[in-house]
Amino acid sequence: DSGVTQTPKHLITATGQRVTLRCSPRSGDLSVYWYQQSLDQGLQFLIQYYNGEERAKGNILERFSAQQFPDLHSELNLSSLELGDSALYFCASSVEASRFTEAFFGQGTRLTVV
């Protein structure tokens, strides 16, 4: 158990809908990352938050947004969903926003868009 909690574990929704994925980082970790894992794209970095503020953006679509709350949990919002958004979405956390510190991953949320 990495200490990173993601809910829900599975999500099935229809095209055009909006969903929210939730992540609770390890106790004491200030940095939260979101990654998408799909068969065709592999593991892709989406966005990073540090202590409530956006720190870095990756290949995140405009239809997607995220935030980190004062209690440090984070939410990833996916809207106007398309079939191609079906993927495994991982949250990871680390103590600081540094390339030296390892990131710990949650179990992921498997999103299926039908």
Partner 1 sequence: AQSVTQLGSHVSVSEGALVLLRCNYSSSVPPYLFWYVQYPNQGLQLLLKYTSAATLVKGINGFEAEFKKSETSFHLTKPSAHMSDAAEYFCAVSEILTGGGNKLTFGTGTQLKVEL
- In terms of CB distance, is 31 or 81 closer to partner 1? 31
Minimum CB separation from partner 1 for residue 42, in Å? Answer: 5
In this chain, which of 3, 8, 16, 58 binds partner 1, going by CB under 8 A? 58
- In terms of CB distance, is 18 or 57 closer to partner 1? 57
Pairing of strands 74-78, 109-113: unpaired
Interface positions, 25-54, toward partner 1 (CB under 8 A): 33, 35, 42-43, 45, 48, 50
Separation CA 47–CA 16 (nearest Å) = 22
93 to 21, 45, 74, 81, 90: CA distances (angstroms)? 15, 13, 10, 26, 10
